[in-house]
Amino acid sequence: MNRLNVNEPFLKRPFDVLLSGIGLILSSWLWALIWMAILLEDGYPALISQFRIGKDGRTFKSLKFRSMKKSALNEDIYIQATENDPRTTNVGKILRKTAFDELPQLLNIFLGDMSFVGPRTLLPSEIEHHSECEYIQISDIPGYEERIMVHPGLTGIAQIYAPRDLPRRHKFKYDLLYIRKRSFLLDLKLIILSFLITFQGRWEKSGAKLRLLKRRK
């Protein structure tokens, strides 16, 4: 097994700052449209802030446009969203297909809490359905300790190639693969693939997303 590559590529942070800064400026008009659409359908809040687990296990406040009904905000524990999740609003379905619900995380990247590419951020209280009547804490899943040794990312191997409903214990294997193989060139490839999926609105449909990726190879 290859050793984990916990040292960041030399150009990773400067690239994150440059690209997130440009993204914040160019997407400002889109923020206003999304904000209005959410308020018209389901009221406040349009933007939500949640504590997420960052590098070395430190928590930070992650920003997202709300894609789920307000009732989901009162859940005591968080269970991973599924494809066609009934908790999702109509506007939220569009946001999740295009990943526009994660636009505010450009600010997290600019501030250094996140990177463009890395393991997906996790909630401290997140659990996973382990068996028919058993749940497991996210921190008890094999691979958790290794994946928090690097900055979480907006996109990555797991986000692109793994189906949304895939259990975390399997997604973590994708994350560990990224950490072993990561390089600036790999980051560029994953970012380009992410843009292609976003432009075609295929983030929510794993089958369609994977067919798009196969055609690009």
- Cα 216 to Cα 107, 118, 211, distances in angstroms: 30, 22, 9
- Beta-carbon contacts of 24 under 8 Å, excluding residues fewer than 6 positions away, are 106, 107, 110
What's the confidence (pLDDT) of residue 125? 77
pTM of the model as a whole:
0.83
What's the confidence (pLDDT) of residue 18? 97
**Which candidate, 104, 149, 109, places its Cα nearest to that of 12?**
109
What's the confidence (pLDDT) of residue 1? 46
Q: What is the pLDDT of residues 186-217, one digit of tens each?
A: 999 999 999 888 887 777 665 555 555 555 55
What's the confidence (pLDDT) of residue 70? 79
What's the confidence (pLDDT) of residue 167? 84
Flag residues of the chain having pLDDT under 70: 1-3, 5, 72-84, 129-133, 204-217
What's the confidence (pLDDT) of residue 99? 87
Distance between CA atoms of residues 152 and 148, nearest Å = 7
Q: What is the pLDDT of residues 138-157, one digit of tens each?
A: 888 889 999 999 999 999 99
DSSP state of 113: S
DSSP state of 171: H
What's the confidence (pLDDT) of residue 140? 87
Cβ neighbours of 48 (radius 10 Å): 17
Asked whether 42 and 67 are in contact (CB, 8 A), the reply is no
Strands (E), 31-169: 47-53, 59-65, 78-79, 115-117, 126-131, 134-137, 153-155
Residue carrying the six token digits 């449909």: 205
> Residue 163, preceding bond cis, omega within 30 degrees?
no
Cβ neighbours of 65 (radius 10 Å): 23
Distance between CA atoms of residues 202 and 151, nearest Å = 25
Asked whether 55 and 148 are in contact (CB, 8 A), the reply is yes
